């Protein structure tokens, strides 16, 4: 278990992901990195370009970046997640550095990285605002910042409340999804220029698979299933809740936000 000084939210996340780390290997849904390829299609690493993947989890984003020519540091709050990421990298013949730290306090000097990424993890962070501030701090001038994460529709409090309840039951280490507008405000507060910000639905193909991945307690599984059964019409339509071949599926609003730090002197 991590010996870092952690707040209660961070401690819950560290415990959860240490316990469930083996569920985040090659077969995990995040092993498909097409979203990263699309988000970073216009961001090319220069010679010796450095990237930091925050809350790397199974290491899928870190491996994608390493394959693309970045010198990658993968960080996480859960030691066993980092062990698994190192193993996957070694099996792929890739080299990545790994560091144990919470997203809200990065152990790096100012202006260290050309790219900072966080993929489908910030909804577990205790303070997204501190995370963005830290990301901005460790970015070099002209560096890029990428967040891909579950979100909530703008101006739809009913769906937002339903989704937060369900996610908290499914995985008690869940923090909160932020809307696109909330993320944009945090990024602009750190004087980063937003290059791209969009919500796209991402299909979640099997609720019971998510139960197993998070080791959801039986009583909470029952709560989630009841919430799905009784979901309001607006929620059901917005999230496209349905059953396919006996599996409960839905479409998560997924935010992709790419920003750039101010460039000092000529562009790189």
Residue 1 pLDDT more than 70?
A: no
Contact 54, 131 (CB under 8 A): yes
Which tokens go with 41?
Answer: 């299609």
Distance CA 13, CA 216 (A): 14
Spatial neighbors of 28 by CB under 8 A, at least 6 apart, are: 58, 60, 213
Residue with tokens 């992901």: 17
Boundaries of every domain in the chain: 8-155+173-202+253-260
Domain 8-155+173-202+253-260: give its CATH code. Answer: 3.40.50.150
User: Is 107 in contact with 54 (CB distance < 8 Å)?
Assistant: no
Structure tokens at 199: 């919500």
* 120-173 tens-digit pLDDT: 999 999 999 999 999 999 999 999 999 999 999 888 999 999 999 999 999 888
Distance CA(162)–CA(234), nearest Å, equals 11
The dihedral of CA 149, 155, 157, 162: what is its sign? negative
Rounded distance between C-alpha atoms, residue 239 and residue 236, angstroms:
6
Please, what is the Cα angle at 255 between 200 and 82, to 5 degrees? 125
- Poorest-pLDDT segment among 22-26, 73-77, 260-264: 22-26
pLDDT at 265 (0 to 100):
38
Phi/psi-derived region of residue 234, left when phi > 0, alpha when psi is between -120 and 50, beta in every other case: alpha
Q: Work out whether strand 242-244 and strand 247-260 pair parallel, antiparallel, or are unpaired.
A: antiparallel
Are the C-beta atoms of residues 257 and 194 closer than 8 Å to each other? yes
What are the C-alpha distances in Å from 252 to residues 59, 69, 120, 169? Answer: 22, 31, 11, 16
Tell me how far apart the alpha carbons of residues 176 and 57 are, in angstroms, rounded to a whole number: 18
pLDDT tens column, 223-253: 999 999 999 999 999 999 999 999 999 998 9
Strands (E), the chain: 50-54, 71-76, 97-100, 113-119, 139-150, 193-204, 242-244, 247-260
pLDDT tens readout for residues 25-82: 444 566 788 999 999 999 999 999 999 999 998 899 999 999 999 999 999 998 888 9
Question: In angstroms, what CA-CA distances link 97 with 56, 70, 87, 261?
Answer: 12, 11, 12, 24
3-state secondary structure of 66: helix
- Confidence (pTM): 0.88
Instruction: Enter the tokens of residue 244.
Output: 């396919």
């Amino acid at each position: 278990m991590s010996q870092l000084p952690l707040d209660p939210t961070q401690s819950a996340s560290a415990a959860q992901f240490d316990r469930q780390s083996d569920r985040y290997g090659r077969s995990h849904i995040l092993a498909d990195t097409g979203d990263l390829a699309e988000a970073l299609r216009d961001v090319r690493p220069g010679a010796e370009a450095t990237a930091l993947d925050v809350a790397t989890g199974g290491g899928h984003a870190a491996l994608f970046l390493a394959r693309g020519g970045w010198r990658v540091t993968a960080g996480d709050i859960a030691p066993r997640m980092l062990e698994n990421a190192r193993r996957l990298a070694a099996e792929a013949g890739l080299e990545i550095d790994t560091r144990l730290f919470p997203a809200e306090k990065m152990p790096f000097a100012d202006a260290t990285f050309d790219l900072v990424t966080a993929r489908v993890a910030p909804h577990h962070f205790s303070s997204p605002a501190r995370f963005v501030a830290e990301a901005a701090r460790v970015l070099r001038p002209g560096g890029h910042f990428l967040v891909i994460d579950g979100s909530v529709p703008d101006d739809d409090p009913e769906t937002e409340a339903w989704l937060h309840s369900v996610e908290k039951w499914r995985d008690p280490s869940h923090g909160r999804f932020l809307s696109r507008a909330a993320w944009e405000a945090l990024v602009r507060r750190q004087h980063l220029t937003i290059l791209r910000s969009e919500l796209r639905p991402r299909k979640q193909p099997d609720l019971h698979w998510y139960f197993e991945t998070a080791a959801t307690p039986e009583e909470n599984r029952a709560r989630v299933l009841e919430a799905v059964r009784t979901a309001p019409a607006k929620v059901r339509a917005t999230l496209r809740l349905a059953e396919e071949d006996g599996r409960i599926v839905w479409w998560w609003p997924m935010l992709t936000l790419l920003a750039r730090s101010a460039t000092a002197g000529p562009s790189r």
